[in-house]
Amino acid sequence: EAGVTQFPSHSVIEKGQTVTLRCDPISGHDNLYWYRRVMGKEIKFLLHFVKESKQDESGMPNNRFLAERTGGTYSTLKVQPAELEDSGVYFCASSQGWTGRLIGVNTEAFFGQGTRLTVV
Q: Which residues bind another protein (CB under 8 A)?
A: 4, 6, 33, 35, 41-45, 48, 91, 93, 99-101, 103, 107-114
- 57 or 81: CB nearest another protein: 57
Beta partners for residue 23, in sequence order: 6, 75
Beta partners for residue 92, in sequence order: 34
What does the chain come to in residues?
120
State the Cα–Cα distance between residues 70 and 101, nearest whole angstrom: 25
**Is residue 105 within 8 Å of residue 97, measured between CB atoms?**
yes
- 80 or 102: CB nearest another protein: 102
Question: Least separation, in Å, of the C-beta of 81 and another protein?
Answer: 27
- 37 or 64: CB nearest another protein: 37
